[in-house]
Structures are given as C-alpha cells and as structure tokens.
Structure 1
Amino acid sequence: MVTAVGKNLDLRRIERYLTIVYSSGASPVIILNKINLAGDPHAVLKELESIAGDVPVCGVSALTKDGLDVLASSLSPNKTVALIGSSGVGKSTRVNAFFHATAQKTTDVREDDEKGRHTTTVRQLFVLPDGGIFIDNPGIREIQLGDSSNGVDKAFSDILEVARNCKFKDCTHRTEPHCVVREAVHQGVITEERVNSYHKLMDELAFQSERAEPGLKRLEKKNYKGMLQGARNYRKYVGK
C-alpha cells in the first residue's frame, strides 16, 4: 500500500488498508512516498512502524531515488505486486521508476488539499523487465471492509496479544474491570487512538454482518422454496 508524506499520511486509514490486505491473503508492505518532503524522515517512519507490526515500512522518493533499491529487493519474477492507496500518493510514479520510463501518466496533486486528480482511472497490469508484475489501481476514495474479520485480527495483533491477559475472555476493552488493554493505554503502551480505531472497525464489521443477515435468510428461504417445489414436481412426475 502506498501513502505519502503530508496530508495523505493518515494512520487510521492505513490501519483500514492493512485490514483489507490481510483479509485478501496478500502480504502487505507500506510504502511511504515523498520521504524527501519530511522534515524528520526517521520520525515519520517510526510513526508508521508503531501501527505496522511486522509489516515492512519503506521510505522512498521518486525525486531523490532514495529507497528504491530496498523496494526493488521485494520484487521477483514469481511475485505480483498490487499498488493501492489514495489518489496522488505516487502509485503510478512508482511504476514509472521501475520501468525507468513513463509507463503511466501522472499529474501533480492539488496544492490546497494535496489530493490527486485520478490520472489512473482503470486497473492496469505491467510486466517488469525481470518478470515481476505490477498492478496499478485507481486511487481509493472510500475503504469498505467487507468480510475482513480475520484482517482485523492481524492488523491489530498487538492489541489482541495484550488482550490475552484480560480477566474476561469476551472482554470488549471498553468498560470491563481488570481490562489489560485499557491498562496498557493508561501506561502508554498502546495509544488511545489505536484502540478507538480497533473498536470502530469491529463495530463496522458487526453492523455489516447484522445488515447482511436478513439477506442471507431471504436467500435461504428462496432456496428452500425452490427445493420444495422441485420435490413436489418430482412426486407429480412419479405419480403419473
């Protein structure tokens, strides 16, 4: 997933990206583009690493070419890399950097809000000279979780690891007594913002599950009526 130094750098959004990437079965890598614009690159990378867990975080710059060698090492002839991220973070620029040519059209971001202009409007596949494959996706404006419960577990593995020591196995880490997660927040081990983000995603998944339940019941009822009608037709046919 690609993000960039500036207003596009949103830890909560990256947590959502990690959730859906994990749920897809892919191995996530966080690419922090435009690292040359950071006043303190090390501090920005540390901020990302605080939510990344075991996910690699690469700081790169198309302008200075910093970090491109590290990113290139993750590519191989038998791997497919899909780039996802908001418009204007530099996904297409990354493709051009590896081709050493303009394979994808790019434009500048708007100065007022640093949003991109959606130059890439369709998903495109590129084969690199060494056989690696790049898939460049259009900028994502809204990240829907879908069925990403397993992805939440992996994206917030630090919280779940601490939660193993909660007094209650079904602890929601909100108001229960003897909650180790809340205690970790008080001690500064886990940030309040990260726990709130975890709660928000879990609530969203629960809401989507509840909303889908009536649809599943209708589908089951429809299938049952179809099977029942089929059985009736069969009995009529046998009885002739």
Structure 2
Amino acid sequence: MRINKYISETGYCSRRATNRLINEKRITVNGEVCEPGRMICPDDVVLIDGKVIPEKAEAVYIALHKPVGITCTSATHVEGNIIDFMNYPGRIFPIGRLDKDSQGLILMTNDGAIVNKMMRSEFGHEKEYVVTVDHLITDDFLKRMSRGIEILGTTTKPCEVSRISDYEFRIILTQGLNRQIRRMAKECGYRVIRLERIRIMNVTMEGLEMGEWRNLTKIELANMLDQLADTVHL
C-alpha cells in the first residue's frame, strides 16, 4: 500500500500529516528518504525521525468545543495550535479543520484510517453551522446560498439553509472547501461576524462549554462508524 495509507493505519497520524512529513524528509524507508507515493511492502523498515513507528494505541475519538483563535493543526510550531491547547496525554490530531476565526465542534482522534472516510465530500457527511452576518438576511440570500455559489474555481454543492433570526442563519454542508461559508457569504455581499459549527454527522456539542472536550459515547461512535461503513461501499 502507499506510504500515507500505511502510516495512517498505524494510527500515528493522518494521510495529510504523513504527506507533510514526507515533504519535510522526516520519513525513511529501508534507510532511504521516502518519496511521495512510495509503495510499502510488508518487510520494509519505515522510520519517522529515525525512530520506529510506535505500536498502535487504543483508538480514541474526542469531541472538542474549539474557541476562536485556536488553529486546527498538529504542527506544534504554530502558535495557538490545537494540540498544545488540549494538552492531551497521547498523540491525537484533528479530523478536518475549523478555521482560526471560527468556533465550535471539531473531532480529534488517533485513528488515521478514519480521517479519509470522513473527509471525502462525495460521501455526503453533514456538518451543521450557525452563522451570524452583518446585513439583514433576505429570502434571496438564503436561496442563493442553498443553490450553490461559485468560489475557488468551482460551484458549491446545494445545501440546506434556513433563517434563525434577522442576522443569523443555519446551514448544513456536505463538503468542506477552505473557509467555504465565509467565501459564499462574501459573494452574496455579506460578511460573517460569527461562525459556529454545532454538529458533525451525528455528533453534537451537547454538554460542552467553550474549550471543553469529551470522549464520544459508545452510541455516538457506533452510529458514526456505521455511517462510515455504509458510505465506503457506495
């Protein structure tokens, strides 16, 4: 299998993080610096920073209520990174991202294999947000947002959008383009004042104060894994 899949399945880090380690030349295979896309055989010796990859720890799945100002990266040299913020006693990393200026639900795990299943937009996993903007919300704005907006060289997928109040709306996405909601709103002449993610698939922030985290319940985890198992076979 490819190197990034191999390492993600050890639980060391995600495929994206593996690609970063490869670019930084921190991974070797049989004593040689690993190249992107390298295929790994069962008898290959793979080292990260010259060390053997630790045995896979028991999988953990965490829901965190992320505050504004925290960056969803495993790179600990980045000021305000999510790893230092949580100070969790074990190696974990974020599933996806929630931009620095936004708050709300982010999932953390040490299970690299699950990340790709959750992040692929064609699987249609829902993420729900509550958004406050700087102008009065009109019916036309809600329709434009729901039908799709041209950003980043593509048209966003149709999504569910509903008004909460004059300046606040709810939106459910099944994709995750960079700063997607903010860019969509800007194309409609609006500026996002506050953005909070309140749900990922079946997981919510219920019971979590700002900055708090908890392990997923057995029911939440079972439900989520069932959904992921179904979509993998589509």
Structure with the greater alpha carbon radius of gyration: 1
Same fold (TM over 0.5): no
Per chain length, whose mean CA-contact separation is higher, i.e. which structure has more relative contact order (CA < 8 Å, sep 6+)?
A: 2
TM-score normalised according to structure 2 size: 0.21
TM-score of the superposed pair, with normalisation by structure 1: 0.21
- When you count helix as a share of all residues, which structure comes out higher? 1
